Structure 1
Amino acid sequence: MSKVVVVTGTASGLGKATVERFAAEGWNVVATVRKEADLKVHESLANVRTLLHDVDDEQAAAPFAEQALAQFGQVDALVNNAGSYQMGPVEATTMEQVHRQFQTNVFGLIAITKAFLPLFREQRSGVVINVSSLSAEQGYPYNAVYSASKAAVATLSEGLSVEMEEFGVRVRTVLPGQHATPIFTKIDQAEDVHADYQDGIKRFFGGVSTRGSAPEVTAEIVYQAVLDPRPAPVRFYSGPDSAAIPAAKRILGPQQYWEEFRAAMGGQPSALWRSLIPAPGEYEFDRDV
């Protein structure tokens, strides 16, 4: 009998590629979208059922889990991919934006995970994949709130993995590096930014490419993370820039890594940093945003 995966946030980008990856391997897929207009996004895939679900609605999580289970009669894996991206200096970011960022990326993710955990615990099997970000490894300037939300996702995954191990449930977090998906064209941007920040913003974003690894790169990592039978590792890195970080931290040590990172974020990456962390323009891409 084919296994079943539930994937959230699948209208485009990483989520859509993940649905396609699992479907190609014969999995049955329950895919979520937020808009009715996107309900037909996977209609060419016979083994995919697309449902409306807003991850921000915590009260809808438990009914959705029941609805998802009813589609194919079982659920073997959950991929929490739905997320949003807030950008700007912390000073200029409204508290409404902060709450919105954490509601989608953290609280909504926790709610839907909690809705599936009883099923996984009772059946003594299951996999939870939480999509985090390269920025979970260190806070990026002008992305600090987003970075904080994704760091929460990563550490939540680590703690939950230990809690669920005795029940045969594996929990992983995937940390994509810079990638070419529409999330970066749908930015919740801080407004009324003081002029004092303009030089820093230009310096930081002047070194950021609008290109990145194709969504299929991360979809493959998600697929492999689901299949991996080991209870650990928990963190899976996707993309050359993300995969380079653990090695760089081992080589440099925490203090020097932080110093090199700060210099790079200030627009002055050292030759050592450039040799360890590939910049977006230094490796090949499959597509542009």
Structure 2
Amino acid sequence: MSNTVVVTGTSTGMGKATVAKFAAEGWNVVATVRKDSDLQVHADLPNVRTLLLDVDDEGAAESFARTAVEQFGRVDALVNNAGSYQMGPVEASSMEQIHQQFQTNVFGLIAVTRAVIPFLREQRSGVIVNIASLTAEQGYPYSAVYAASKAAVVTLSEGLSLELAQFGISVRTVLPGQHATRIFTKIDMAEGEALDPYRAGIEEFFGNNAPTGSDPSVTADVIHQAVVDADPVKVHYYSAPDSTAIPRAKQILGKEGYWREFREFVHGRPTPLWKTLTPSPGDKPVEWGL
């Protein structure tokens, strides 16, 4: 019998690539999308069932979990990929935007996870993979709220891994770096006069960062590895060149030394140390876990 994985947020990007990866590996996949128009996005994959789910709707989580299990008779893994990106200085971000960021990236994720846990606990096996971000490990300017929501995901994953180990359930978190996905075309951007004093800093910071990133399939491979990894203790997985390089830089420089390097980069230094540690385009990006 094939194993079954549930993947949320699969209409584009890493979610769509993750569905394709697991399907190619022979898994049954329950994929979620938010819009009726996306229900056929995986129609070419016979072992994929696509269901509607808005993770912001916490009340829908329990019925969704039951429906997901009914598709193939069981669930062996959950990949919480659905998320959103709110960008802008904290001062210029509305409280509505800030609440919405945490609703999607944290509270919605928790609701889906809570709904699936009883099924995994009853069978005393399973894996939960929560997609965080490299920004979870430090504060990035103009993405502080997003980074804070992803830091919550990492900490939640660590705590859950300890709570659920007694039931044979592993919990992982994947911290992708910069990727070429549509999340950056769907930004919830801060607006208004409060944004004006920050515009020059925003342009400078993002102008020093490449506008593109790794293909989503890079992280899909790491997500698959996190699910099938037999190590019951490992929680953190990294993907994409910058995501693999920055942890190395922190080991070399120490946490405080790295932070000073990063601050210099934000305020005008053109080439921080970690960029010299990033693999060249010809290197195959691989996960690097702690």
* TM-score > 0.5, shorter chain as reference: yes
- Within a 5 Å distance, the mapping from 1:150-169 to structure 2 comes to 150-169=150-169
Per the alignment, residue 229 of structure 2 pairs with 228
Q: Distance in 2 between matches of 1:189 and 1:195?
A: 13
Q: Is the 8 A contact 1:211 1:285 kept in 2?
A: no
SS class of match (1:225): helix
Alpha carbons of structure 1 residues 119 and 275: separation in structure 2 relative to 1, 3 Å: same
Alignment gaps of 5+ in structure 2: 285-290
Instruction: Sort the Cα spacing of 1:105 and 1:66 in 2 relative to 1 into closer, same or farther, 3 A.
Output: same
Which consecutive segments of 4 or more residues in structure 1 shift more than 2 A? 269-278, 282-286
The within-5 A match list for 1:138-287 is 138-192=138-192, 193-269=194-270, 272-277=273-278, 283=281
Following superposition, the deviation at residue 194 of structure 1 comes to 3.5
Q: Which amino acid is the alignment partner of residue 214 of structure 1? A: D
Would the aligned equivalents of 1:87 and 1:143 in 2 still touch at CA under 8 Å?
yes
Encode CA deviations 1:153-200: one digit per residue, 9 max, x unaligned. Answer: 011101110111111100000001000000000000000143221221
> Unpaired runs of 5+ in structure 1?
none
State the SS of the aligned residue for 2:191. coil
Q: How many aligned residue pairs are there? A: 283
Specify whether residues 126 and 88 from structure 1 end up closer, same or farther in structure 2 by C-alpha distance, changes over 3 A only: same
Residue 206 of structure 1 aligns with an amino acid whose one-letter code is: G
Retained in 1: the 8 A contact 2:33–2:50?
yes
Q: Answer whether contact 1:264 1:273 (CA < 8 A) is retained.
A: no
1:56-205 correspondence to structure 2 within 5 Å: 56-192=56-192, 193-205=194-206
How far apart are the structure 2 equivalents of 1:40 and 1:219? 20
Distance in 2 separating the partners of 1:89 and 1:271:
22
TM-score (norm 2): 0.94
CA contact (8 A) 2:14 2:220 kept: yes
Once the two structures are superposed, residues 262-282 of structure 1 have per-residue CA deviations (whole angstroms, 9 ceiling, x without a partner) of 11222315563432356xxx6
- Partners of 1:29 and 1:81 in 2: CA distance: 14
1:118, distance to aligned residue in structure 2 (A): 1.0
Instruction: Work out whether 1:41 is the aligned partner of 2:38.
Output: no
The 3 A distance-change label for structure 1 pair 248 and 71 is: same
Measure how far apart 1:256 and its partner are. Answer: 0.6
Contact 2:172 2:237 in 1 (8 A): yes
What is the identity, as a one-letter code, of the residue corresponding to 1:47? Answer: N
Distance 1:178 1:274 in 2: 13
- The normalised TM-score by structure 1 is 0.95
Q: Does 1:16 align with 2:16?
A: yes
Inter-CA distance 46–273: structure 2 relative to 1 (3 Å threshold): closer
Task: Check whether the contact 2:128–2:171 (CA below 8 A) recurs between aligned residues.
Answer: yes
1:51 matched residue in structure 2: 51
